[in-house]
Structure 1
Amino acid sequence: MEFVLPICILFMLANVGACTEVRDVGTHIVSLANAPVSPLSLSPAPAPAPPPAPHFVNITDVLQQAGQFKTFLSLLKGSQVENQLQTQANNTQQGLSLFAPSDTAFASLRREYKAMINKLTDQQKTSLLEYHAVPTFYSLGQFQSLSSPISTMGPYKFNVSAFGAQVNMSTGLVNAPISSSIFSQSPVAVYEVDKVLLPEEIFGLPIPTPAPTPEPVSAPESAMAPTDGTSAKSPDSSSDQSDAAYKNAFVIHSVLLMFGVFQVLLW
C-alpha cells in the first residue's frame, strides 16, 4: 500500500501535464486559425524593352562617301530639297529613289544648257533637283514592270524603259541610263546616271546640233605648173603677153619698111 499511493500520484501528475500540453497546442492552433490572413505580395514583372529606333539613311552622307557627286551636292546644300529628300528617305512606308548625276554628267553638258542652268530662278532650280527624285523605293528589278511616265517629287514626270539589266530615263531632251547602283536597301535607293535629267518644261525644245563646218577645199594645181618654184601663169596673162609681142613686131616691121623707102629715095 505504501508503494501504490506514490504511483497513483505520479500517474495523475503525468496525465495533468499531458492535458496541459494538449490544451496549449489546441489554443495555439485556434489562435493561428483566427489570425488575419494578409494577401500574398507579388513582385511586378519587368517592363519590356522599347524597340530599337529605326535606322535612317543619311542621303548627304551616301553622296559624299561615293565621291563623284560634288556638283550635285553643291546644288543641294542649303536648299529646301535637301530636307525634302531626307524626310522622304525616313518614310519607311514609301521610301525614296534618287537619280544622282555624276560630276562627269555636269561637265559633259552642252554649253547652251550650262548657261541656262546658271540663269535658273530659285524655283526652277528646286524643280530641277526634285526632278531627280521619285517618292517611292524601286529596286533595279522593279523597273522592269513600271509603266511610264512616273511621277517625281516635283511637278514634272519622265519615262522609264528597261531592257534586261539596262534601265534608261528619258526626259524628251536627254536619255540617261543608270550607270551604277550606289545604295539600294529599302526604303532608300541611290542610283548614278551619266547625264543630267533636263525637263522640257524648263529647258524647252531640244537645241539642234549645229551642222559641222565644211573644210575649205583647195583648188587643184595645174598640170602645167612649173616645178622650179615659180608661180604658174594664168591663161589671161599669156594672152596679154602674146598681144604685146605682136604689137612690138608690128612696130619694128613698120620702122624697117620706112627705112627701106628712105634708102630708095636717096638713090
Structure 2
Amino acid sequence: MQQTSVDTQLYNQLNNSNNGITIFAPSDNAFSSLKPGTLNSLTDQQKVELIQFHVIPQHLSMSTFQTASNPLRTNAGDSADWLFPLNVTTSGNSVNITTGLTNTSVSGTVYTDDQLAIYQVDQVLQPPAIFNPSPPPPAPAPAPSKKKGHGAATDTSVPADASSPMHINIVVSVGVAIVAAFCL
C-alpha cells in the first residue's frame, strides 16, 4: 500500500470522514493462488485500483452486511458499466463476496473498532475492469463490392479504410460525446 500511496489516502479518509472504512484483506494463500506474474503484469494504475477495490468507504460491521445495498461502492469506483462491481450476501453469520470474477467469503475479522473494520478474505477480489479478458477485436470489414454496369465500375460501398474522412469524423464525434457525458 505504501508503494501506491493508498496508505496515505486511507489515513486521510479515516481522519477526515465520519463514515469509516471497511477493508477486505486477502490472506497470504489468496495471493499465492494467483497465476504467477499476475501482480507484476499490472500497470501502476491497475495496482492502485486493485487495492482500492478492496476498500469500502464506510464502516461495515459483520451485522450491517445483512442490510448493505448491492452493489457496494468501493474506493476504486462504483459499479457503473460493471467495471468495479462488488456484491455481498449473507447467510447466518457468513458473508459472501462476489465480483463477477471472484467468489469468496469473509473468513475472519482482523481488526475492528468504530471507524475501521478489516476482514480477511480467502481470495484476491478481482474486478472485471482489471482482470476481465479483453473482447476479441472486431472482424475486418468486407472488401468493397464493385458493381459493373454499362461498361464502368461503380463502387457503392462505404470506405473500409480507417483513415477515411468519414471514419475519422465518426470517431471524433463519438469521442466528443463521451467526453461531454463525463463532464455533465
TM range (shorter): 0.5 to 0.7
- Compute the displacement of 1:82 (Å): 1.1
Mapped to 2, the partners of 1:110 and 1:119 lie a distance apart of 11
Map 1:194-209; keep pairs closer than 5 Å: 194-205=122-133
Map 1:69-148; keep pairs closer than 5 Å: 76-111=1-36, 115-148=37-70
Task: Specify which structure has the higher proportion of helix.
Answer: 1
- Matched to 1:177, the amino acid is S
Task: Specify which structure has the higher proportion of strand.
Answer: 2
Say yes or no: does 1:164 pair with 2:92: yes
- Compute the displacement of 1:80 (Å): 1.7
- Matched to 1:194, the amino acid is D
- Matched to 1:192, the amino acid is Q
Mapped to 2, the partners of 1:187 and 1:164 lie a distance apart of 24
Say yes or no: does 1:184 pair with 2:112: yes
Mapped to 1, the partners of 2:118 and 2:64 lie a distance apart of 14
Structure 2: gaps spanning 5 or more residues:
78-83, 135-184
Contact 2:85 2:100 in 1 (8 A): no
Contact 1:91 1:187 in 2 (8 A): no
- Compute the displacement of 1:117 (Å): 2.0
Contact 1:178 1:191 in 2 (8 A): yes
Aligned residue pairs, count? 128
Over 3 Å counting, the alpha-carbon distance change for 1:97 and 1:204 in structure 2 is same
Q: Secondary structure at the match of 2:8?
A: helix
Structure 1: gaps spanning 5 or more residues:
1-75, 207-267
- Matched to 1:135, the amino acid is P
- Compute the displacement of 1:92 (Å): 4.9
- Matched to 2:64, the amino acid is Q
Runs in 1 of length 4+ with deviation above 2 angstroms? 89-92
Higher relative contact order (CA 8 A, sep 6+): 2
Contact 2:4 2:47 in 1 (8 A): no
- Compute the displacement of 1:205 (Å): 4.4
User: Which residue in 2 is equivalent to 1:150?
Assistant: 72
Contact 1:93 1:187 in 2 (8 A): yes
Q: Quote the sequence identity (%).
A: 40
Contact 1:131 1:157 in 2 (8 A): no
- Matched to 1:100, the amino acid is A
